[in-house]
Amino acid sequence: MDVKIEESWKRVLQDEFEQPYFEQLTRFVRQAYRTSTIYPPAKLIFSAFDSCPFHQVKVVIVGQDPYHQPGQAHGLCFSVSDGVPFPPSLQNIFKELQSDLGKPVPASGNLEKWAGEGVLLLNAILTVQANRAGSHQGKGWERFTDTVIRRLAAEREHLVFMLWGAYAQRKGEGIDANRHLLLKSPHPSPLSAHRGFFGNHHFSKANAYLLAHGKQPIAW
């Protein structure tokens, strides 16, 4: 199957695109876009990959599914398009970044700059129906993104995986902690951020680890 995705990822994942489950997933997604309002826009489904090639990944942040309100989702987890108000979890991410590294809260919630620095902003599920959070669970995306994480963990060295909340931590269960840095904390959602997301210092810990292994730190 010819999937429109950045070339290095296409090479790494080509065998996955030939799996029967992925063909079924593709049929489901195409039908969903024809019959419902689905986010992100179809051309942006693989934005996280297109903006951060396989061999440039340094940090992986794992989200769940895209924002389901109009104009928010553009294919990168936690990120919103320019000019869109910050959702609560993103507000809390920026608060922790400010506390940890002294970075001012940016004017835009668009995290494409992070992707360009080597941060793969990976949602576990890559599509969602408007106003229905979790509506595309169990259709095959989870298997696909599990494979993405496995390939990164197996073929790359000294990556940082930021696993915020129980869902993300389950996605990271197979990663070798002797080979990569696993940073775990509660989710930045207002429901859980005060239970340990605030004060986790994940941004400074990630950069210290990258520096220790001869890599350029992220300009968060």
Q: Which residues are catalytic?
A: 65
Task: Report helix, strand and coil shares of the chain as percent, to nearest 5.
Answer: 40, 10, 45
How crowded is the C-beta side of 106, counted as CA atoms within 13 Å?
Answer: 20
Residue identified by tokens 């700059």 is: 113
Compute the distance between CA of residue 132 and CA of residue 24 in angstroms, rounded to an integer: 21
Region of 54 (left: φ > 0; alpha: ψ -120 to 50; beta: rest) is alpha
d(CA 63, CA 163): 8
Cross-strand partners of 161:
60, 182
Q: What is the rounded CA–CA span in Å between residue 120 and residue 70?
A: 23
